[in-house]
């Protein structure tokens, strides 16, 4: 998926219960820095399954997330370490709201679900002055 040239794009919502053949992807590959300057809200719903975005160097996302004010991350499976979310926080200097919800207790209705694996992301001392 790629957004192409969408200069007025303000909100992106992505949701998926990743299937077994699905590979994680980087947000910088589908959101171009020259076409998403007005992006203010990002919503990611993992449907209590595999994390399908690949953590990446925050420098790759800083221009894309320069206007980002709100991030909503829904339904992260309970066993998943949350350090991987720091790459989003580091790339969004104007962020005002960060919402994260863990796994819902709703029974799984998907047949070909990808294996849930924890993500490894090394963090260092980090402060976000707007949060």
Show the domain range for 79. Answer: 19-102
Give one DSSP letter per residue of 32-71, joined into a string.
-TTT-TT--EEEEE-TTS---B----GGGTTTTTTT--EE
**Residue 128: inside a domain, yes or no?**
no
**Residue 107: inside a domain, yes or no?**
no
**Residue 84: inside a domain, yes or no?**
yes
Give pTM, 2 decimals.
Answer: 0.78
The mean per-residue pLDDT over the stretch 60-75 comes to: 93
Give the pLDDT confidence of 43-55 residue by residue, as tens digits.
999 998 889 999 9
Q: Number of structural domains, the chain? A: 1
**Residue 7: inside a domain, yes or no?**
no
**Residue 127: inside a domain, yes or no?**
no
DSSP 112: S
Q: Please give the helix or strand (H or E) that residue 91 lies within, else none.
A: helix 86-91
**Residue 95: inside a domain, yes or no?**
yes
Give the pLDDT confidence of 110-124 residue by residue, as tens digits.
555 556 666 666 666
């Amino acid at each position: 998926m790629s957004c192409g040239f969408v200069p007025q794009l303000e909100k992106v919502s992505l949701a998926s219960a990743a299937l077994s053949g699905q590979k994680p992807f980087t947000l910088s590959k589908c959101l171009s820095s020259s076409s998403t300057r007005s992006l203010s809200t990002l919503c990611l719903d993992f449907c209590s399954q595999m994390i399908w975005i690949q953590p990446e160097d925050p420098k790759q996302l800083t221009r894309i997330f320069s206007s980002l004010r709100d991030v909503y991350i829904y339904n992260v499976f309970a066993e998943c370490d949350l350090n991987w979310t720091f790459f989003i926080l580091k790339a969004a200097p104007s962020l005002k709201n960060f919402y994260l919800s863990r796994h819902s207790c709703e029974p799984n209705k998907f047949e070909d679900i990808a294996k849930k694996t924890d993500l490894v992301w090394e963090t260092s001392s980090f402060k976000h002055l707007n949060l």
